[in-house]
């Protein structure tokens, strides 16, 4: 049975989620920041973590952006194959939701029309980057991210040889975080995508940033890899805001997909402590 979903409803949902994401950090991020405050040994690191926690509290209370960089909008949309969108164009509805959220919510507009020539600001933070997949059912699940570019700029991908194995992946992740230093605004949430093709690995890395902190990968090998990577990253000593300390990562999340016999793609997508995302099903 086909279920009708109005484009207007999609627009309103995107708008609501983006305001929520920019004003209210997730409870999982807040919880991990609190635990990190207890674990951090550096006095400066502790002070930075406390300031980040206070900043998130003020943003939530006063309904203001938690960071001046309110990000480029990324959406992951799971569209039920028994749902039909009526009353308008899906992409237009999404971008109208972005426009209204960023205009009415006083969020910085950070998107330029052409990445190379002119770089003129679009003026309303559109367009969003939209990832769409078809799933069973008659509902639409929308997950939004407001992705800051201090951290996006520090992300990297590499096509490893299969023989590089776990060691090669680990070395690449650690090298990426080390090179990034203070630039991505630590403490970080680090997304790692392994397998598929280059583009699939990048997509997986981004998807992994949506996972709740404290929920390891369901596969025991990947869960162990996440734990090992987090420990190794936190031994780098970069610390909160890059001022030194134990807490460089709040989480390392890994997602994987089957790949070709000749390859081992890996992408590291870094997110900052303003790890903003929100989700709804309509
Ligand atoms: S990387 Fe994150 S915390 Fe740093 S400026 Fe950008 S959005 Fe803000």
Q: How far apart, in whole angstroms, are the C-alpha atoms of residue 79 and residue 134? A: 5
56 part of a folded domain: no
Answer yes or no: is 59 within a domain. Answer: no
> Is the confidence at residue 1, as pLDDT, over 90?
no
So what's the pLDDT on residue 171? Answer: 98
* β-bridge mates for residue 269, sequence order: 191
Query: Which of 147, 162, 180 is a domain's end point?
Result: 147
Distance, in Å, from the CA atom of 55 to the CA atom of 22, rounded to the nearest integer, reads: 12
Query: Tell me: the pLDDT tens digits for 193-207?
Result: 999 999 999 999 999
Tell me the whole-structure pTM to 2 decimals. 0.96
Q: Which of 59, 64, 68, 148 to mutate to test the pocket of ligand 1 (most atoms within 8 A of CB)?
A: 148
Residue 20 has pLDDT above 90, yes or no: yes
Tokens encoding 97? 């939701």
Backbone angles phi, psi at 182, to 5 degrees: -85, -10
Cβ burial of 119 (10 Å; 0-12, 13-18, 19+) is exposed
Taking only the tens place, the pLDDT of each residue in 62-80 is: 999 999 999 999 999 999 9
CATH number, position 124:
3.30.360
Structure confidence at residue 123 (pLDDT): 98
Q: Are 95 and 102 in contact (CB under 8 A)?
A: no
Is residue 268 over pLDDT 90? yes
Residue 213 pLDDT class (50, 70, 90 cuts): very high
User: Do 8 and 140 lie in a common domain?
Assistant: yes
Tell me if 252 is assigned to some domain: yes
Does the structure show a pLDDT above 90 at 91? yes
Q: Would residue 218 count as lying in a domain?
A: yes
Do 7 and 143 lie in one domain? The reply is yes
Instruction: Place 152 in a pLDDT band, splitting at 50, 70 and 90.
Output: very high
Residues 238 and 192 in one domain: yes
Q: What is the CATH number of the domain that holds 256?
A: 3.30.1330
Q: Is 133 found in the same domain as 14?
A: yes
User: Under 8 Å CB-to-CB from 175, ≥6 apart: which residues?
Assistant: none
Across residues 111-133, what is the average pLDDT? 98
| Residue 182 near ligand 1, beta carbon < 6 Å | no
Cα of 55 from ligand 1 centre, angstroms? 13
Q: Are residues 176 and 270 in the same domain?
A: yes
What long-range pairs does 209-213 form, CB within 8 A, spacing at least 24?
209/145, 209/253, 209/269, 209/271, 209/275, 209/277, 210/76, 210/143, 210/145, 210/277, 210/279, 211/253, 212/26, 212/28, 213/26, 213/28, 213/29, 213/31, 213/32, 213/189, 213/250, 213/251, 213/275
Confidence at residue 17, expressed as pLDDT on a 0 to 100 scale? 98
Residue 85 has a pLDDT of: 97
The answer on 156 and 75 residing in a single domain is no
Ligand 1: which of 181, 272, 273, 276 to mutate, judged by most atoms within 8 Å of the beta carbon?
A: 272
Is 39's pLDDT higher than 90? yes
Question: Do 163 and 220 fall into the same domain?
Answer: yes
Beta-carbon neighbour count of residue 214 at 10 Å?
11
Residues 13 and 78 in one domain: yes
Q: How many domains does the chain have?
A: 2
Cis peptide before 179 (omega within 30 of 0): no
User: Under 8 Å CB-to-CB from 96, ≥6 apart: which residues?
Assistant: 11
Q: What is the CA radius of gyration of the chain?
A: 19
Ligand 1 pocket residue status of 251, Cβ below 6 Å:
no
Q: Final residue of a domain: which of 147, 164, 179? A: 147
> By residue range, what is the domain housing residue 117?
3-22+66-147
229 and 102 in a common domain: no
User: Does residue 44 lie in a domain region?
Assistant: no
Confidence band (pLDDT; 50, 70, 90) for 232?
Answer: very high
Q: Is the CB of 72 under 6 A from ligand 1?
A: no
Distance CA 107, CA 99 (A): 10
Query: Angle at which helices 165-180 and 220-234 pack, to 10 degrees?
Result: 40
Residue with CA closest to ligand 1 atom 1: 150
162 with 253, same domain: the answer is yes
When pLDDT is cut at 50, 70 and 90, the band that residue 109 belongs to is very high
Say if residue 91 is in the same domain as residue 226: no
**Mean of pLDDT over the chain:** 97
Residue 197 lies in a domain: yes
Is the domain of 159 the same as that of 261?
Answer: yes
pLDDT of 110 reads: 97
Model confidence at 29, pLDDT cuts 50, 70, 90, reads: very high
Q: Is the CB of 70 under 6 A from ligand 1?
A: no
Give CA 66 to chain center in angstroms.
15
Residue 80's pLDDT is 97
- Does residue 39 sit within a domain? no
With a pLDDT cut of 90, the percent of the chain lying above it is: 100
> What average pLDDT does range 16-21 have in this prediction?
98
Mean pLDDT confidence for 153-177: 98
Query: Tokens 């402590």 sit at which residue?
Result: 273
Asked if residue 243 is part of any domain, the answer here is yes
Domain boundary residue among 130, 147, 164? Answer: 147
The residues facing 257 across adjacent strands are 195
For the chain, give the percent of residues with pLDDT over 70: 100
């Amino acid at each position: 049975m086909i279920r009708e979903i109005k484009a207007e409803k999609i627009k309103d949902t995107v708008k609501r989620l983006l305001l929520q994401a920019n004003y209210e950090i997730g409870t999982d991020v807040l919880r991990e920041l609190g635990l990190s405050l207890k674990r951090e040994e550096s006095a400066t690191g502790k002070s930075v973590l406390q300031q980040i926690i206070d900043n998130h509290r003020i943003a939530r209370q006063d309904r203001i952006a938690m960071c001046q960089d309110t990000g480029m909008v990324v959406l992951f949309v799971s569209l039920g194959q028994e749902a039909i969108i009526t009353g308008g164009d899906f992409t237009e509805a999404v971008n109208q939701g972005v426009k209204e959220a960023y205009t009415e919510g006083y969020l910085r507009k950070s998107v330029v029309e052409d990445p190379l020539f002119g770089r003129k600001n679009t003026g309303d933070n559109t367009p969003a980057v939209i990832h769409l997949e078809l799933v069973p059912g008659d509902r639409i699940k929308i997950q939004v991210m407001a992705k800051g570019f201090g951290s996006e700029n520090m992300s990297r991908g590499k096509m490893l040889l299969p023989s590089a194995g776990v060691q090669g992946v680990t070395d690449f992740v650690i090298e990426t975080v080390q090179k990034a230093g203070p630039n991505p605004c630590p403490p970080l949430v680090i997304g790692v995508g392994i397998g598929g093709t280059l583009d699939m690995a990048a997509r997986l890395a981004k998807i992994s940033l949506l996972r709740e902190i404290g929920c390891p990968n369901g596969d025991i090998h990947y869960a162990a890899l996440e734990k090992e990577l987090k420990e190794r990253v936190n031994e780098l000593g970069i610390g909160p805001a890059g001022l030194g300390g134990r807490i460089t990562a709040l989480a390392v999340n890994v997602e994987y997909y089957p790949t070709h016999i000749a390859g081992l793609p890996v992408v590291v997508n870094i997110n900052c402590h303003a790890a903003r995302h929100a989700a709804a099903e309509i």
